[in-house]
Amino acid sequence: MTAVVDLLLTRYNYVAVVLLLGIGVYMIGASENLVKKVIGMNVFQTGIFLFFMTSAFVTGGHVPIIKEGVERYVSPLPHVLILTAIVVGVSLTAVALALIVRIYAEYGTLQEDVLREIQTDE
Amino acid sequence: MSESYAVLLVAVPILGSIVPLAGSLWHDRLGWPVAVGVSLAHLALAAGLAVEVFAAGTVVYELGGFEPPFGIVLVVDGISALVALLVGVVSAGVLAYARRAGPRGNSFYSLYLLLLAGLSGMTVTGDAFNLYVFLEITGLAAYALVATGDHGGAAVAALKYLIIGTVGASLYLLGVGYAFVATGTLNMADLAEKLAAVGYTSPLVLASFALVTVGFAVKVALFPLHTWQPDAYAEAPISVSVLISALVSTVAAYALARLVLSVYTVEFFAAVPTARTMLVGAAAISVVAGSVLAVSQTDIQRMLAYSSVSQFGLIVAAVGIANRAALVGAVVHLVGHAVMKGGLFATAGVVERTTGARSVDEYAGLAERAPLAAGCFAVLALAMVGVPPAVGFVGKWYIVVGAVEAQRWAVAAVLVVSTLLTLAYFARLVERMYFTEPAVDVGEPAGGVPTVPDGGRSVSTGMVAVVVAATVLAATLGFAASGIEALLEPTLAALGVI
């Protein structure tokens, strides 16, 4: 019990990472709505972003600009990586939404199960 | 000078991809000539790079002059030079095919060049995060290319591909994150040293290996993570099916091999035999499941897609075995599969245009209606089965020898059985094409299949030339295998492969 409390108090970021990843995958798999699947994809990626951010945290670390009297600097690399990954994520979301607009124009639905029925009927 | 070939290999197609889109303001048929120019330049760069690598050894380029391990490096060794050359040759061939087969329009050629840039980047990069970026560039271009199909099903297939592909790429990113937390570096050569220093049995290293391999298994389309692939291949326009079936999974499989060999290295497998067993086991399951699914298909393009699931199982199994013979086999089969599968899709496209046939039953009596296409299809199919001396035989031969040398009898047995399974789905097609009378209603396919007015859309000389060239390559490339083995010798030695 104390181990769980300890985990929640000191490692809550990692708990949040696991929750975000789990919720994201669940939304992608369980939701029939295409937009919700894309939201799930975004939640999943956010979990990964949070993982990188958390790993980059240094207690008492300073901004990585050389200054006198500062000993501990934070590595800027993870932040730059995630900045890139966010850009990638935005592009993916844009393409996904464009495809969804086209699917809706063609079939008039965003529900995957309805879509499957229409496609088998064709 | 030759170091800059590596960076130009990526930069030229990226810059080129802007031209057709921007040019749309003035002229809407600019795409093809621009793509041809860029693609030929890319092919020349890949050839120059290959000559340099095989003459003088690994080429390294430091981007922006930042020293490794701090900056990003591009590293081209024997395997990446061959894959880059394959990308150049196949993509140039696809252009000859796409001029008549479509899709038309400048935006298609922009996407094509973007895909070329992404694939080249994945091939030459020596940085784990840079690989993720190029993986996503390749992915985005491939999703958009699949969606260029002219009916709604293409958009549905592309969205499915996008969601599953993104989860795969994200898992890879998470795996890179674990490796980064363990070592603080992203440079592949540096990662290899520091992962060894951290200890291969550290949970961080094990987790990163698992996430990286699962992520790439999605991109390579191993069973049971292949579900995006049949829809994408069947719904995309035929030129796109040729391009992505020949290159996208191929380069993903190359990248997986690169990570396994250059980042985790064969010592990792020696220290953690379970990881190797699981990778080889998953690949073996993919070989069998892919073949079984292929046998049960009625649509030709879906059958070819499931066949890829099975063939990439062979390649990943060879990467897992990771001895000299198996890796030579993996490279030969990677190249051979690209030629054969691209050729089969190209032939299927020609057949569909001349006769309207799309399904296994409609291929009945094809030898009379389209003798050349039927002949090429039969040769390519038999090459894929592994009839000597075709390239399909040589690749599988090396992999089986590798499995036997490593004393992995179960894997060797699966590989041999896979040949029979491949025969199961291709032999029935060859039998139908040559020995079955066509059914009465052939030529008027049922609803849903696009009907062909006026007895068929035209097939250009370029399309036929691509089909014939792929057939000739598939039949003769096998003779080059011992040459490829000699060329790869220094690279494999540098990777510590015994």
Chain A closest-CA separation from residue B448 CA (Å): 6
Segment B166-178, tens digit of pLDDT: 999 999 999 999 9
Residue B411 is predicted with a pLDDT of 86
Segment A7-58, tens digit of pLDDT: 788 888 889 999 999 999 999 989 999 999 999 999 999 999 999 999 888 8
Residue B452 has pLDDT above 60, yes or no: no
Query: Average pLDDT for residues A87-95, to the nearest whole number?
Result: 94
Partner-chain contact B156 A115, CB within 8 Å: yes
Asked which of B318-322, B337-341, B486-490 is least confident by mean pLDDT, the reply is: B486-490
Q: What torsion do the CA atoms of B164, B167, B168, B172 make, to the nearest 10 degrees?
A: 170
Report if residue B398 sits inside a domain: yes
Domain assignments of chain A as residue spans, ordered by start: 2-121
Q: Which residue has the higher pLDDT, B434 or A20?
A: A20
Which is nearest to B368 in space by CA: B428, B299, B438, B440?
Answer: B438
Residue B217: band (very low, low, confident or very high) from pLDDT cuts 50, 70, 90: very high
Partner-chain contact A41 B166, CB within 8 Å: yes
Residue B439: band (very low, low, confident or very high) from pLDDT cuts 50, 70, 90: low
Residue B453 has pLDDT above 50, yes or no: no
Residues of A in contact with B207 (CB under 8 A): none
Partner-chain contact A38 B181, CB within 8 Å: no
Residue B407: band (very low, low, confident or very high) from pLDDT cuts 50, 70, 90: confident
Chain B closest-CA separation from residue A38 CA (Å): 7
Residue B457: band (very low, low, confident or very high) from pLDDT cuts 50, 70, 90: low
Residue B65 is predicted with a pLDDT of 83
Q: What is the mean pLDDT of chain B?
A: 88
Segment B22-78, tens digit of pLDDT: 888 888 788 888 899 999 999 999 999 999 888 888 888 888 888 888 889 999 988
Residue B208: band (very low, low, confident or very high) from pLDDT cuts 50, 70, 90: very high
Q: Which residue of B has its CA nearest to A45?
A: B170
Report if residue B180 sits inside a domain: no
Residues of B in contact with A103 (CB under 8 A): 152, 155-156, 159
Rounded CA separation B17/B106 (Å): 10
Partner-chain contact A122 B448, CB within 8 Å: yes
Residue A25 is predicted with a pLDDT of 93
From the list A37, A52, A119, the residue facing B163 with the nearest CB is A37
Residue B454 is predicted with a pLDDT of 40
From the list A95, A115, A119, the residue facing B162 with the nearest CB is A95
Query: Average pLDDT for residues B389-407, to the nearest whole number?
Result: 90
Q: Which residue of B has its CA nearest to A34?
A: B159
Into which CATH architecture does domain A2-121 fall? Orthogonal Bundle (1.10)
Query: Average pLDDT for residues A54-77, to the nearest whole number?
Result: 86
Residue B45 is predicted with a pLDDT of 93
Residues of B in contact with A51 (CB under 8 A): 174, 177
**Alpha carbon distances (Å) from B161 to A109, B45, B109, B164, B312:** 19, 31, 20, 5, 18
Which is nearest to B331 in space by CA: B269, B419, B402?
Answer: B402
Mutate which of A50, A99, A107 to test chain B, going by most B C-beta atoms within 10 A? A99
Q: Which residue of A has its CA nearest to B128?
A: A81
Segment B284-333, tens digit of pLDDT: 999 999 999 998 888 889 999 999 999 999 999 999 998 888 999 999 99
Report if residue B451 sits inside a domain: no
Quote the pTM value. 0.92
Q: Domain range holding B478?
A: 288-440+460-498
Question: What secondary structure letter does DSSP report for A108?
Answer: S
From the list A51, A75, A92, the residue facing B162 with the nearest CB is A92
Residue B441 is predicted with a pLDDT of 52
* Number of domains comprising chain B: 1
Residues of B in contact with A44 (CB under 8 A): 167, 170
Residue B440 is predicted with a pLDDT of 54
Report if residue B177 sits inside a domain: no
Partnered with residue B74 across adjacent β-strands are B61, B125
Residues of B in contact with A122 (CB under 8 A): 447-448
Report if residue B389 sits inside a domain: yes
Residues of A in contact with B151 (CB under 8 A): 106
Q: Helices (DSSP H) in A1-122: which residue ranges?
A: 2-10, 12-30, 34-55, 77-107, 112-121
Residue A99 has pLDDT above 70, yes or no: yes
Start-to-end C-alpha separation, chain B = 33
